[in-house]
């Protein structure tokens, strides 16, 4: 099964990326995922279910530890041929 996850960490800071956002970027870019899109207000990643769920666990633990007060996420099953 393939999954696509979209997530944001808060609080936002428009002047400088907060520590929790930097940590989220580092975790998701280092994960064994097929597609990663990191943006200023949200991140998207896609891959096998085990890889996505492992990365998500790391993102949650590490961003909360780095000061995130809210993490919003959405996980979708990706059908074959869908991207």
| Helix (H), strand (E), coil (C) string for 12-55 | CCCCCCCHHHHHHHHHHHHCCCCEEEECCCCEEEEEEHHHHHHH
Tens digit of pLDDT for each residue in 36-64? Answer: 998 877 899 999 999 999 999 999 999 99
Answer yes or no: are the C-beta atoms of 58 and 11 closer than 8 Å.
no
pLDDT at 83: 58
Sign of the CA dihedral running 44, 45, 49, 54:
negative
Round to whole Å and give the CA distance between 46 and 14. 26
Mean pLDDT across 8-27 = 90
């Amino acid at each position: 099964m393939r999954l696509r996850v979209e997530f944001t960490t808060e609080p936002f800071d428009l002047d400088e990326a907060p520590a929790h956002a930097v940590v989220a970027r580092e975790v998701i870019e280092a994960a064994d995922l097929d597609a990663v899109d990191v943006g200023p207000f949200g991140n998207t990643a896609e891959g096998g279910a085990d890889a996505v769920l492992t990365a998500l666990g790391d993102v949650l633990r590490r961003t909360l530890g780095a000061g995130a007060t809210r993490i919003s996420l959405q996980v979708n099953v990706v059908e074959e041929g869908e991207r």
